[in-house]
Each structure stands twice: as structure tokens, then as C-alpha cells.
């Protein structure tokens, strides 16, 4: 359907102008219909320094088993998705600590997580102007971050996740959750 509710006439003209009907397929988007969905477009695809992509966000337990998984556009800052990632976890227990890299060095996210009872272990950025909020004792736990990196590399061993071939975001997220379930089953 186009905006004037004239699907037959609108698609007939488009198809005769642009070649095969395979190209003139409709893709649902946010708020309207997009015609001619091209390569590397769709929901949850955003610009990066090296092209376009989708960001995989993952929360794991201490041994690298996924607890929570989320996909977002690559241009969305990771700091804004941490709270959502903690909220949509599979387990009932809330994590005691959240080990994250320097991208989450923000005081407002530390306050939000401490209000929920979660200690954030994140090294400070080099250019931080405010006084440090954690000492070196808790940063020793940051050495265990290799476990999450290992889990992400296991997930990217799946070809469907390494290169996104699906135009629809829900299909890509479904494959992401399927790969996480395979990691969970591998752990047992």
C-alpha cells in the first residue's frame, strides 16, 4: 500500500520503471512503508567509522554464559543501553557487579546502577576531569573481562552474526538469541 491506498497502480508503475518485481518489494519500517530496500539498510542498522552495522550487546554471568542479549543500531551509544540490558535479563537474581570497558565511564550510569544495587567496575578515561569514584582494589576484577570477550568471539564464530544478511531486525535478533541458547546448552 502506498500513502494514497492505491497499491495496484503504484506498484505497477514502479515495477515497469525499475525492472523486476523482486526489487519492488515492500519492507515495513517505522511509521510507513519503504520501497526498494537496498543492501545494508533497515531497522537497527547505523553508521560507523567503517560503514554500517548492528551492535550486539551481551550480559554474561561469571563463566561466560549469556544472561541477557540485545541488538541495537551501531550509532547508539552503549551507555544508553546498559540499563535496558540489565532489565531484560533471564535470571531473577540481579548481578552484584557489572564489569564494563571505558565506554561506560559516566557518573550518571554509576549512580543508576548503584541505586539498583549493582557495583559498576569500569576504569576511568584518561581525560576525566572529575575525581575518581573507585579505587584500585575493585579494578582488579577488571582483569576478568576476558571472559565476556571470549563469549563475544564464540558468538561471532556463527556466520549469521558476523555478517548481517537479514534485512529485518527481528530475524537478526532471533539468530542472535539462538546463538546465545546454543552457548547456554554448550555449558551444560
Least confident of 36-40, 100-104, 123-127: 36-40
* Mean pLDDT of the region 81-94: 89
Task: In whole angstroms, give the CA distance from residue 45 to residue 53.
Answer: 5
How much is the mean pLDDT over the chain?
Answer: 78
Decide: 82 and 98 in contact? Cβ < 8 Å.
yes
Percentage of the residues of the chain whose pLDDT score is greater than 90: 20
* Mean pLDDT of the region 54-76: 89
Q: Tell me the torsion sign for CA atoms 156, 162, 166, 167.
A: positive
Grid cell locating 117: 544495587
Q: Provide the pLDDT for residue 40.
A: 57
Q: Which domains does the chain have, with CATH numbers?
A: 1-37 (no CATH), 46-186 (3.30.420)
pTM over 0.85: no
Task: In whole angstroms, give the CA distance from residue 29 to residue 70.
Answer: 19
> Alpha carbon of 72 to those of 69, 79, 133, 144, 171: distances in Å?
10, 12, 29, 25, 13
Least confident of 14-18, 87-91, 175-179, 183-187: 14-18
Decide: 114 and 138 in contact? Cβ < 8 Å.
no
Residue 11 has pLDDT above 80, yes or no: no
Q: Provide the pLDDT for residue 118.
A: 92
pLDDT digits (tens, 9 = 90+) for 14-57: 444 444 334 334 444 545 554 444 555 677 888 877 788 888 89
Amino acid at each position: 500500500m502506498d500513502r494514497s491506498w492505491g497499491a495496484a497502480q503504484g506498484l505497477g508503475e514502479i515495477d515497469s520503471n525499475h525492472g523486476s518485481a523482486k526489487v519492488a518489494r515492500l519492507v515495513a519500517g517505522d511509521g510507513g512503508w519503504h520501497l526498494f530496500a537496498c543492501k545494508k539498510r533497515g531497522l537497527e542498522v547505523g553508521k560507523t567509522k567503517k560503514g554500517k552495522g548492528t551492535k550486539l550487546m551481551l550480559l554474561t554471568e561469571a563463566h561466560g554464559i549469556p544472561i541477557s542479549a540485545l541488538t541495537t543500531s551501531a550509532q547508539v551509544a552503549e551507555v544508553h543501553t546498559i540499563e535496558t540490558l540489565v532489565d531484560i535479563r533471564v535470571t531473577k537474581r540481579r548481578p552484584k557487579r557489572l564489569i564494563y570497558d571505558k565506554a561506560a565511564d559516566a557518573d550518571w550510569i554509576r549512580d543508576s546502577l548503584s541505586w539498583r544495587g549493582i557495583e559498576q567496575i569500569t576504569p576511568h578515561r584518561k581525560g576525566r576531569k572529575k575525581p575518581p569514584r573507585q579505587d584500585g582494589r575493585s579494578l582488579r576484577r577488571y582483569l576478568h573481562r576476558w571472559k565476556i570477550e571470549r563469549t563475544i568471539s564464540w558468538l561471532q564464530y556463527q556466520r549469521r552474526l558476523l555478517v548481517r544478511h537479514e534485512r529485518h531486525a527481528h530475524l537478526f535478533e532471533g539468530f542472535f538469541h539462538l546463538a546465545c541458547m546454543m552457548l547456554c546448552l554448550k555449558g551444560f
